[in-house]
Structure 1
Amino acid sequence: MLGAIALSLFLLKLKYLVGLIVIICKFPIVFVDPACRLSIIEAYEEYEYIHEGDVTIGGILTVNSFIIPFTESDEGPDSLMCVSAMLQFYRQLVDFIFAIEKINNDPILLANVTLGYHIYDSCGDPRKAVRSVFQILSGTREPVPNYSCVGKRNIAGFIGDLTSDTTVPIAQILSLFGYAQISYGATGSLLSNRVAFPYFFRTVESDNSHYFALSKLLKYFGWTWVGIIIFSENNEDLKLLSHHLSNNGICVEFHIKIHNYNTDVNYEPYKEIIQNSLTSVIVFCGTASMHMIGGLSLLSDAFSTKTIIVSFTVAANSQILDYAPKLFMGCLGLLQYFSYSLDSPERRLFLETIYPLKYPKDKLLENIWIRYYSCLSEDQDKNTLFAKIYKHKLQNCTGWERISHLHQFDNKFYSPRVLLSVNTMSRALHDIHVSHSKQALTSKIVYKFQLHYYLRNILYDIHEDKTSVFVENGEPISQYLIYNCLLDMDGRIAVTNVGLFIPWAPSDQKMHKGSIRWKTNNSQIPRSQCSDSCLPGYRKAPRGRTKACCYDCVPCSEGEISNITDSENCIRCPDMEWPTNKKRWCTAKRIEFLSYSEDVISVLYLMFSAILFLITVLVLGIFIKYQDSPIVRANNRSLSFLLLVSIKLSFLSVFLFLGRPVDITCMLRNITFGITFSIAVSSLLAKTIMVYVAFKATKPGSSWRKWVGVKLSNSVVLFCSSIQIIICMTWLAISPPFQELDLHTYPGTIIIQCNEGSAIGFYSVIGYMGLLAAVSFVLAFLARTLPDSFNEAKYITFSMLLFCSVWITMIPAYLSTKGKNTVCVEIFAILTSSAGLLFCIFLPKCFIILFRPERNIKLTMLGRKTIISM
């Protein structure tokens, strides 16, 4: 019983609610001073196209490009009047209707289901677009938000709109109601937000993708210094484009912002900016209207030397290009490419049926005939108004003129975006019906909140060999045609395809540079750079705080190269290589050492060493031959022989210093000379001591007699030489010399040299030789006046004085030179000191032996004065 009462109350409330809705739909609602009032704009003339079906697709299309305020009478309310109907935009409307009819005639696609449509012209205005959405949802000429006065209508989704300005508010409303929406032209990046717009899709890529492709095009031609003219009232397009330009090393010299809805723009200040700019390339981006392009066309002289690059939103409107042919002549543009054929017998036949006599109530068609054919309308007020707007003299027409005969209606770069949108939505609807066909359909399908699922997973053709799907942000991935604008014989813009940008291809662009016609007289690619390109061998150096594209070209530093144009940084060559003179690539470094074949000084040292060695051998031969002569015997011939052998080995040690150093020669060179020369100096020390002992032993009863003999001299040589040998062996054991590559002393040169390993070991060897030489010098200096006819002390004094002078001088010279010069200093010191011993000690004796034999007798040892007197 209670259940029945509750059901009765519910049905009663439902009855009153339905009655209220019917009243709202049929009668105007009058508010008396309401606290909150919802005001929807009035339109001077509505452009509505409606065809009911089982399923309805709503359409918000832009045919008129903008609106102007209009008042019919002084006391009447203000309304908005749509003006400037674009023929290319009307074609999109025709494509919409043609696609619906073609689908309805298809026996397979959506079988037994009739598609309907309800289309309004948004006139490119957000306020008019919002009004149109509510008109479709409520089903009445006067929109009633949140109510539908067409109970049987089943709206599946919406197609539209062309621009982001109108599409965003549409998407915000439809997202609340759960309707899927496919835009055929809105490129705003804001619409990629799936949280805010979960049911939004589009058949064009976003501005982010467009500007990415555009920046790649600029980079391809080497244009790094550009200007921007942006047709937008917000900064989003400018920020996005600047971001992509910056990522590709492109700087913006200036930017000019023109608002879409500002019809009173003064374009003269822009002329000076454009003419005084250094750039040769200016980018047009945003959504341009006819009056904006018309204003810029007045500045055609300022653009005479500038190449214009038009973004997708500008390039897609062929009538914009035709409106200012002188301005766009020579421009390059990007257009999203679909290999989606529009040319079919059915479509050609459908277009032939579009003329005013068949559709006398089509207000848009009437307006287009007024604008393009200058035809009179039956509405005299409209004739007067349009004559003022378009400044045409109107005439009577037959009404049989065909829309397909107009030049702007058909061009090969027309994009089938509306047709693709309708077909995509119809295929998604077909998928819904197929998925429900297995179930018993007791009620009609509600498409809200479910159509977007099927749209997200649908595949559609974007070109011959690739299918695509809406990516996560509701947009496709497409190719871009790159086209060049030329003037035809009639002075109108003719576009030529000159390239293709393929995002998924290894090489982004396929370009036919030779077919591009530039504004320059020589048809050369315009140069648009703040600074000249830096050739290989140079790098870019920023000019203080100026933009990154303004820079100076500075040569790469020593040891660095750059092998590409406009290199940001130079590359350091590997350690074993060095840049060429132009610093464009690295080559192997020049190797430096005392070479037998390349260095003249090596040959000279080799000759001197060999000559001195032969002289030493000759002296040794003379001493051996005359070993029994008094002068040889008097000076301890065994020590003389040992001394000559040591000097001979010292001359031979020079060969270890010549040629390419290796580890074994590095270890032997200084040690060999140190030991041999120590033996030589030890022999001289032994000679000096023997002279001093012999003089002391001549005194009667002297204790020095026991030291006279070869034992003392041999002991001195053995003891002094052993110390040097111990030093050398310790040096080799702890830190032996080794081959070293000096890569840094001389740029571009690798010095192959010997590293002493231990500086203490090296200087210990030299220091010990210096100590022996100093002791020998002191003893020889003290013994130089002893009364001995063959006293060698004075000769030893001179030889040690020469030795000390040479090696003391050699040390700073050794420390201050590098590379093979250091080796030259060492060899010079060895040859000089060894030659000093040879000539100071043995040359006087050889002179006496060979040329004064009369002095080489025993009596000379007893009394020199007697012999001389003889």
Structure 2
Amino acid sequence: MGLVDIVGQRWGSDNQKFVDSPIIVEEIDKTLTLFAKHKIPGLDGMPIEWPIPPYYRYFLTIRFAINEINKDPTLLPNMTLGYHMYDSCNDNRKAVKSILQILSGPGQTAPNYSCRKSGKLIGFFGDQNSVTTVNMAQILALYRYTQVSYGATTYVLNNRNIYPTFFRTVESNRSIYFILSGLLQYFGWTWVGVLSSDDDSGNEETQLLTQYLTMKGICVAYMIKIKPEILSVTENTFKNSIETIRKSSAQVIILCGTFSSYMADLLNEVRHVLYDKTFIYGPIFASNTFLMEHFREMLTGSLTLEFYNLPVPDMKSFYDSFQVVNHPQDTLLEHIWLLHLHCSGTNESRNRFYSTVYKTSLHNCSGTKRVTEFISFQNPGLTDRVYRAVYSLVHALHDMYLSIGSQAPEKITQLYYWVKNLKSSKGDLLFKENGELVTSFRIMNWRSLNKSSVNQRQVGKTLTTNRSQKNFFIMVENIIWKTEMNKIPKSQCSENCLPGSRKVPRSGIHACCYDCVQCSEGEISNVSDSENCQQCRYDEWPNEKKDRCVQKRLDFLSYSNDYLGLVFALFSSVLCAITGLILLVFISHQDTAIVKANNNNLSFTLLVSIMLSFLCVFFFLGRPADISCLLRQISFGILFTIAISCVLAKTIMVCLAFKATKPGSPWQHWFGTKFSNGIVILCSSIQVIICVIWLSISPPFQELDTSSYQDKIIVQCNEGSVIGFYSVLGYMGFLAAVSFVLAFMVRTLPDIFNEAKYITFSMLVFCSVWIAMIPAYLSTRGKYMVAVEIFAILSSSAGVLGCIFLPKCYIILWRPELNTKTSIMERRVL
């Protein structure tokens, strides 16, 4: 669409009123026509000026709005507005020439001079394209003429120092591409292609797009910039572009810049590699009906960002009135009929030209067909933005007229001040500080219904353009994609790294191309495409998939859920019961010779201490606590010390029994129960003192060992003072060693029951078990360390019990004839 200037008749000198004047419309053949140059597929690549009905719709919208304003007695009373319309044809030179022509007036162009004889230049509408609008705005800013664009989106125009008189009824590319980049991120498209025009608009938009994509972690797989090139160069460009798109794994393509015949050429040539691609583009491309008409199959499934519709009156009846039969002098309308319906016009030379170019015969038409019947005309495009542009300028002019009255002719170039201060229906400024009209956006999904029509359906909308917040809402279930089963397309350089793994960048410039590796031990990632894995807490450990931390397993020797603990509990109970039965046997036969000969008090004490030693195993089972840690070592140390003290007393009494039988032996004074009881009490008291000192300085306590194993926590007892612990064990070992040495020395004494030999074997078993236990104890962790200690307790206690008492039980129960004093004496004599 071209540029439009509005003129009003000069003020009267007496009453300051406008005098009616007709709307000024330049002859279409004398000006740049409302054509958009497109290279039409199927015409051997020949560029042809193709008049597009939607642009004619914008022209009619401006006429409708100005007619409404001129008829409204409350708006600009006593003033009639007219207009000149020019088409820039998206060419900077034509745009600049048109601006200078309008400023100079009719006749020869004279920069900085105006040759107008009537009408006051008020302001300008347009242009639609950013490339031409920037140059127009630079010139108009010098003369302080107000300009309102309805399609230019370049953010360069936001600079109010350079373009103070420029306004637009659309938002800049900053908002558009920020939302588009968020849309790509929402669908997980991190690997995209870009098709852009190679001009100022395309360069600016691709730079802005790349900036936002980088912020969102999205990479550009390729960027094809379309240049206006000659045919031979263009063919090479087509080949390179086809190969680039074909090899790339990017399934999403973004359109940027300005749509032109050269971009249409490229899309037409590479369409066979684009059918499975999903296109994303902004409002300017979305409003281009040429795309919908000629590339509907390729663009189906696309997502577009479009401006939200502004309220406009129903103009259909006004549009319907534009028929060739009603407007025979409208040469633009005649061109549209000629090209779209092959209707012959009044200019024979033009008819021959189009018949030759399009290779078709023209025919006479009735001229009654309405322009609204064209499918491309039915698309509103930027109609509402054009309408709002006209009314915003006129309302500002009305406010200025009411405010400054007679000063209006001199202040007409300061109209931009009043446009800047226009208020919306809500009382806010209509145009923001940067001159933009900020509204919401619609997210549309293009769908090809059949070979001749394309349907657009709204699938989302923007909530805000604040870049610090989520800026859109989208209904994914309403989108129709090109893929099978209507799945969301995937456009990634690499497959997603599943939870439990992290991304490792590949060598190259693209951060979106990476490999996936499993998280290290003790680390997890609970989201896809995680760049770093997270360390679990000290009491947690990754699950098998490494996508979440689970509580570490507590490791201790349980007597309820652990087979090893159940075995130890069973053996401890059985051995305790056996010891109790032996004690009952000895108590029931305490008057027999064999029980009396072995000091029944020591035997009873030894059996009780062994039985309690078996029971103290239960302190080692179950989850350790401070009290159980305290009791397990103390009970074990004291009970074993009592047992070994009894064995030591027995050993000493065996020695004394034979030495005291000699006449006049001094050992007779030591032979008796008091001496043996004194040995037990003395030896046990020393161990009690060691334990008291240990508990006083640093008692055992429960601790959690989180460092020995990565996947479990060892609940164990810390011995507190290592010196105290090993002092207890060392003292027991000392007593056992003394007992073993003494028993070994008297093992050959002529005793029928050979008590010394049994004690020797029992102490040999005891010492062997505990000597073997120490390295095993130190080399294990957790419940197995406890199991080693329990095994040592059970085996050493069972060894003492078996070696000392089972032979006696055998004689008491099965060989009672040997359980007599006579048998004992006979054996000794022998």
TM-score normalized by structure 2?
Answer: 0.84
Asked if the contact 1:294/1:323 (under 8 Å) is kept, the reply is: no
CA distance in 1: counterparts of 2:682 and 2:87, whole angstroms: 118
CA distance in 1: counterparts of 2:97 and 2:286, whole angstroms: 29
CA distance in 1: counterparts of 2:418 and 2:798, whole angstroms: 103
* 1:625-774 correspondence to structure 2 within 5 Å: 625-692=588-655, 704=667, 707-742=670-705, 749-774=712-737
Q: What residue identity is the alignment partner of 1:178?
A: R
Asked if the contact 1:293/1:323 (under 8 Å) is kept, the reply is: no
Q: Cα deviation per residue 1:730-751 (whole Å; 9 max; x = unaligned)?
A: 3333443333445565665554
Query: Which secondary structure does the structure 2 equivalent of 1:158 belong to?
Result: strand
User: Any stretches of 5+ residues in structure 1 without a counterpart?
Assistant: 1-45, 69-80
Q: What residue identity is the alignment partner of 2:454?
A: A
CA distance in 2: counterparts of 1:781 and 1:58, whole angstroms: 136
The corresponding residue for 2:456 is 496
Q: Cα deviation per residue 1:659-718 (whole Å; 9 max; x = unaligned)?
A: 333322122112211111112112222333444455555666666555444554444333
Q: Cα deviation per residue 1:89-115 (whole Å; 9 max; x = unaligned)?
A: 232222223222222322333444444
The corresponding residue for 1:482 is 443
The corresponding residue for 1:348 is 317
Q: Cα deviation per residue 1:286-326 (whole Å; 9 max; x = unaligned)?
A: 21113421342133222233333333322111123213344
Q: Cα deviation per residue 1:602-632 (whole Å; 9 max; x = unaligned)?
A: 3332222122212222222333334344443
Deviation, 1:474, is 3.0
Deviation, 1:802, is 1.2
Structure 1 residues 126 and 660: CA distance shift in structure 2, 3 A: same
Query: Which secondary structure does the structure 2 equivalent of 1:613 belong to?
Result: helix
Q: What residue identity is the alignment partner of 1:458?
A: K
CA distance in 1: counterparts of 2:676 and 2:552, whole angstroms: 54
Deviation, 1:845, is 2.8
Matched, 1:313 2:280: no
CA distance in 2: counterparts of 1:380 and 1:733, whole angstroms: 122
CA distance in 2: counterparts of 1:647 and 1:62, whole angstroms: 116
Structure 1 residues 744 and 429: CA distance shift in structure 2, 3 A: farther
CA distance in 1: counterparts of 2:302 and 2:390, whole angstroms: 32
% of aligned pairs identical? 48
CA distance in 1: counterparts of 2:230 and 2:155, whole angstroms: 23
Query: Which secondary structure does the structure 1 equivalent of 2:174 belong to?
Result: helix
CA distance in 2: counterparts of 1:829 and 1:161, whole angstroms: 97
Query: Which secondary structure does the structure 2 equivalent of 1:254 belong to?
Result: strand
Query: 2:224 is matched with which residue: 232, 256, 262?
Result: 256
The corresponding residue for 2:788 is 825
The corresponding residue for 2:43 is none
Matched, 1:331 2:297: no
Matched, 1:239 2:210: no
Asked if the contact 1:213/1:501 (under 8 Å) is kept, the reply is: no
Structure 1 residues 618 and 292: CA distance shift in structure 2, 3 A: closer
CA distance in 1: counterparts of 2:687 and 2:24, whole angstroms: 108
Q: What residue identity is the alignment partner of 2:804?
A: I
Deviation, 1:834, is 0.8
Structure 1, 271-280 or 376-385: larger mean CA deviation: 376-385
The corresponding residue for 1:404 is 372
Asked if the contact 2:252/2:277 (under 8 Å) is kept, the reply is: yes
Query: Which secondary structure does the structure 1 equivalent of 2:390 belong to?
Result: helix
CA distance in 1: counterparts of 2:120 and 2:664, whole angstroms: 149
The corresponding residue for 2:275 is 304
Cα RMSD of the aligned pairs, angstroms, is: 4.0
* 1:579-658 correspondence to structure 2 within 5 Å: 581-582=544-545, 590-658=553-621
CA distance in 2: counterparts of 1:735 and 1:176, whole angstroms: 91
The corresponding residue for 1:455 is 420
Q: Cα deviation per residue 1:536-586 (whole Å; 9 max; x = unaligned)?
A: 555545445474444445555555555555555555565555555555556
Query: Which secondary structure does the structure 2 equivalent of 1:528 belong to?
Result: coil
Deviation, 1:759, is 3.7
Asked if the contact 2:3/2:124 (under 8 Å) is kept, the reply is: no
CA distance in 1: counterparts of 2:808 and 2:648, whole angstroms: 18
Q: Cα deviation per residue 1:269-290 (whole Å; 9 max; x = unaligned)?
A: 3222223333333222221113
The corresponding residue for 1:424 is 392
Matched, 1:470 2:431: yes
CA distance in 2: counterparts of 1:822 and 1:577, whole angstroms: 23
CA distance in 2: counterparts of 1:399 and 1:612, whole angstroms: 118
Query: 2:251 is matched with which residue: 280, 288, 301?
Result: 280
CA distance in 1: counterparts of 2:773 and 2:422, whole angstroms: 88
Structure 1 residues 334 and 388: CA distance shift in structure 2, 3 A: farther
Deviation, 1:653, is 0.4
The corresponding residue for 1:204 is 170
Asked if the contact 1:485/1:493 (under 8 Å) is kept, the reply is: no
Deviation, 1:858, is 4.4
Structure 1 residues 156 and 719: CA distance shift in structure 2, 3 A: farther
Structure 1 residues 163 and 432: CA distance shift in structure 2, 3 A: same
Q: Cα deviation per residue 1:354-384 (whole Å; 9 max; x = unaligned)?
A: 6486473x56445445444545566666556
* 1:34-49 correspondence to structure 2 within 5 Å: none
Query: 1:108 is matched with which residue: 74, 87, 93?
Result: 74
Asked if the contact 2:8/2:79 (under 8 Å) is kept, the reply is: no
Structure 1 residues 50 and 338: CA distance shift in structure 2, 3 A: closer
Asked if the contact 2:6/2:124 (under 8 Å) is kept, the reply is: no
CA distance in 1: counterparts of 2:230 and 2:593, whole angstroms: 127
Query: Which secondary structure does the structure 2 equivalent of 1:301 belong to?
Result: helix
Structure 1 residues 704 and 838: CA distance shift in structure 2, 3 A: same
Deviation, 1:126, is 1.6
Matched, 1:137 2:99: no
Structure 1, 504-513 or 138-147: larger mean CA deviation: 504-513
Q: Cα deviation per residue 1:106-133 (whole Å; 9 max; x = unaligned)?
A: 2333444444444432221122222223
Structure 1 residues 453 and 730: CA distance shift in structure 2, 3 A: farther
Deviation, 1:225, is 3.1
CA distance in 1: counterparts of 2:103 and 2:564, whole angstroms: 103
Structure 1 residues 849 and 291: CA distance shift in structure 2, 3 A: closer
Structure 1 residues 527 and 705: CA distance shift in structure 2, 3 A: same
Matched, 1:508 2:472: yes
User: Any stretches of 5+ residues in structure 2 without a counterpart?
Assistant: 12-17, 26-30, 40-46
Structure 1, 401-410 or 646-655: larger mean CA deviation: 401-410
Deviation, 1:861, is 5.9
CA distance in 2: counterparts of 1:62 and 1:186, whole angstroms: 20
Structure 1, 188-197 or 441-450: larger mean CA deviation: 441-450
Q: Between Structure 1 and Structure 2, how many residues are aligned?
A: 798
Asked if the contact 2:715/2:782 (under 8 Å) is kept, the reply is: yes
Query: Which secondary structure does the structure 1 equivalent of 2:273 belong to?
Result: coil
CA distance in 2: counterparts of 1:865 and 1:478, whole angstroms: 120
Structure 1 residues 786 and 86: CA distance shift in structure 2, 3 A: same
Deviation, 1:809, is 1.8
Q: Cα deviation per residue 1:207-240 (whole Å; 9 max; x = unaligned)?
A: 2322233333334444333322112335332232
Deviation, 1:186, is 1.4
Q: What residue identity is the alignment partner of 2:182?
A: K
Asked if the contact 1:185/1:204 (under 8 Å) is kept, the reply is: yes
